Chain A
Amino acid sequence: MSDGGLGTASSHRRSATEHDWLRHYGVWVAAAAVLLLLPHVPGLSSNFGRSLLSQMGIATVFALSFNLLLGQTGLLSFGHAVYFGLGGFAAIHFMRAINAGLPVPMPLVPVVGAATGLAFGLLFGALTTRRAGVVFALISLGIGELVFAASRMLQGFSGGEEGITANRAIGPRPFGLNFASQLQVYYIIAFWALLAAALMYAFTRTPVGRMGNAVRDNPERAAFVGYSTQGVRFIVFAVAAMFAGLAGGLHAINYEIVAADAVGAARSGSVLLMVYIGGEAHFIGAILGAITITWLQVSLSDYTTAWQLYLGLFFMAIVLFAPGGLAGLILMHAPIVRTRAFAGVLGAYVLAAIPAVVMLTGALALLEINYRLSTQPEAGSRMKLYGIAIDTSTPWPWVAAAVCLLGGWWVFRRAWPVVAAARQRAADEVAGHGEWAAP
């Protein structure tokens, strides 16, 4: 079911041909090459671009570790940031020790984060994985709040609101590298992110990772066959906590500061958003979600103060209309891309996109005006929207936005059946020609 992944999923035959080697590892070699080149691509070669890439790398590791829980094993956690943050705290304290003279090079700091994540994963996992489902979600929430409240209480450990700082540039210099520049930090993060992603992917292929799928889909049967569902959940949980701790260690290196919010509920919530928006049923979904959401967080916040509202609306749209997430939406089209009816599907999409864009334009205008009026009342009624100067004390901006919203919605409702019909034609064609079997 959740095989999706990197395209090597269905093949378990182990013939030693070169073709097979390429199929199994080609993706990872390509990923390594892309990661190596990305910070030199124009547009991303600035400090801002490299910093964005670094954040995406950290988010990817964190989201993948969450996907081990939610996607692979069906454990919905509301406190996954606990392991991220505790790993981060351990890493930042370790960095301070390096600053004080401990002869360990900085790139090894994430190992400390991972070890801490694993230790706390084993500790709390023993408590939380006794139950699955809603109760697990609730206990994870409780542990998250417990750790957050406790770390705010212990100022010496967490530094409270200000956090603990360290300097990544002070320490041993292997090969003359001092890790001061964002480029060097990016390469540290890229290395660990790729390694972690490969290890996590490999973990999902191991018997215990496979049993995680079984425990997710049918715990009674898994138990009946003779597996301890609690044991499987416990192992997966500890591994996920370890990788979350690794992400926390990367966070410590990247920002040189870790504060109490690193273990907080907001961070636990945002990783949930990433994985679910990306598509929890697919390994690639977590990566997609981490990259998309990080990019949105960084870029949207430049344009509008209401970006959190848009993120919430985006999440709700996925929950209501596309439970498979972005990866699910993309993979849904994989079987029909080569059909003759696919051109019709694309045409229908364009047809439906026009009223959708009009509708969204109206909705965004209304939200922006309201947000501006309530959060910055001192700025007055004149504002710029889509580059147009408007005055919100007159009725026209409101009327125009409402007309766009309602009119767009009305047309969209009528355009959607065309999309559904075009998709149905493509699906019929696939079923008729049996193209599904041989991609």
Chain B
Amino acid sequence: MVELVTFSLLNGVVYGLLLFMLSSGLTLIWSMMGVLNFAHATMFMLGAYFSYQIGRYIGFWPALVIAPLLVGLLGGAIERYGLRHVHRHGAVAEILFTFGLAYLIVEIVVMLWGRNPIENRVPAVIDFPIFTLFGTSYPFYKALMMAISVSMFTFLYLAFKRTRVGLVIQASLTHPQMVGALGHDVPRMFVLVFAVGSALAGLAGVIGGFALLTEPNMAAALGPIVFVVVVVGGLGSIPGALVASMLIGIVQTFAVALDYSLLDLFRVLNVPVSRTSPLHEVYAVKIAQAAPVIPYLLLVLMLILRPRGLLGTRET
């Protein structure tokens, strides 16, 4: 039992940190520009594909740096040459632009790398056990994932609180017009935020690509969950995104490990349930099977009970 809890907790934290790296960029983009960026998860996917391709030529460590930078450049270019022009057509056009972009990027990835998962194995340089617990060894790359995400969070937090650019970005989250009136270049801030957010997603893709399957569907599988994190954490709140990512990461990982259903509960409580009962199928669903539903249930509950999210300051 202790073993199960420990490893579920460790895996949950790794998954949660991954979600955090994706959602921190998204929450900034959203609260600053009001754009629901559907293409954000595709940046994650591009990070994984780029690092695979670069890693084949010059090895993992350079790829770890170059792939996120490329994705960041791409993100900045998307804002500068795409979104900015769509902006005048209104919020719906902006969402549809990112939606169409996400669709296109997936198709372009299919065109370049094919429809099947690529063999994005954990590179040998980071694939060795770091410690052994209860007879099971814990791989180094998962520890590396944790270290990178945590240092990313520290870096972001300090950059936000201590640097001039960070303070200007914080101000433009709530008062973009005022910041512009004070002479700061808000459009350039937009490009910067978009580029940094995309680069973070790309970085998450580099280190998360091994853990998940690197395939064209990975963006569609992860994208909606990242939106859930942003809403649950609270719009524009980096600490909120961290808390919500951890929550969802850990809850989902534990749920997968739990092989119980409502029927088991009824058995313990001595409530008889007949096999012909119309809800028998609902009762028989194991928690492990229900794991994919949990984030969305959380989203709906959150929007009903606390629309501003866990740590948000304004309503989503």
A interface residue numbers (CB < 8 A to B): 70, 74, 76, 127, 131, 133-135, 137-139, 141-143, 145-146, 149-150, 152-157, 265, 269, 272, 276, 306, 308-309, 312-313, 315-316, 319-320, 323, 367, 370-371, 374-375, 377
Given A138-B316, A374-B113, 12 extra CB contacts under 8 A: A134-B91, A135-B316, A138-B227, A142-B228, A142-B299, A149-B292, A150-B293, A269-B103, A306-B111, A309-B108, A316-B104, A375-B110
Asked if B281 contacts A315 (CB within 8 A), the reply is no
Cα of A127 to Cα of B302 in the assembled complex, Å: 11
Q: Which residue of A lies closest to B89 (CB)?
A: A323
What interface size band does chain B fall in? 35 or more
Asked if B95 contacts A76 (CB within 8 A), the reply is yes
Asked if A374 contacts B112 (CB within 8 A), the reply is yes
Cα of A131 to Cα of B307 in the assembled complex, Å: 10
By a CB distance below 8 angstroms, the chain B residues around A142 are 224, 227-228, 231, 296, 299-300, 303
Q: Which residue of A lies closest to B109 (CB)?
A: A374
A-B pairs, 8 with minimum CB distance: A146-B296, A309-B107, A142-B299, A149-B292, A312-B104, A312-B103, A316-B100, A149-B293
> Any chain A CB within 8 A of the CB of B59?
no
By a CB distance below 8 angstroms, the chain B residues around A127 are 300, 303-304
By a CB distance below 8 angstroms, the chain B residues around A149 are 292-293, 296
Interface on chain A toward B: helix, strand, loop, or mixed SS? helix
By a CB distance below 8 angstroms, the chain A residues around B299 are 139, 142, 146
Q: Are A320 and B34 also in contact (CB < 8 A) when A154-B285, A312-B100, A312-B103 are?
A: no
Interface residues of B in 233-291 (CB under 8 A from A): 281-282, 285, 289-290
Cα of A172 to Cα of B316 in the assembled complex, Å: 52
Partner of A319 from the list B86, B108, B111 (CB cut-off 8 Å) is: B86
Partner of A153 from the list B110, B285, B304 (CB cut-off 8 Å) is: B285
> Any chain A CB within 8 A of the CB of B85?
yes
By a CB distance below 8 angstroms, the chain B residues around A316 are 97, 100-101, 104
Q: Which residue of A lies closest to B114 (CB)?
A: A374
Q: Which residue of B lies closest to A134 (CB)?
A: B36
Interface residues of B in 169-205 (CB under 8 A from A): none
> Any chain A CB within 8 A of the CB of B220?
yes
> Any chain A CB within 8 A of the CB of B99?
yes
Asked if B107 contacts A76 (CB within 8 A), the reply is no
By a CB distance below 8 angstroms, the chain A residues around B293 are 146, 149-150, 153
Asked if A137 contacts B36 (CB within 8 A), the reply is yes
By a CB distance below 8 angstroms, the chain B residues around A320 are 82, 85-86, 97
Q: Are A313 and B104 also in contact (CB < 8 A) when A149-B292, A319-B97 are?
A: yes
Partner of B96 from the list A131, A143, A276, A367 (CB cut-off 8 Å) is: A276
Cα of A313 to Cα of B107 in the assembled complex, Å: 10
Q: Which residue of B lies closest to A143 (CB)?
A: B300
Binary interface encoding of chain B residues 98-127 relative to chain A, with 1 for a CB under 8 A from any of its CBs, else 0: 011101100110111111000000000000
By a CB distance below 8 angstroms, the chain A residues around B86 are 319-320
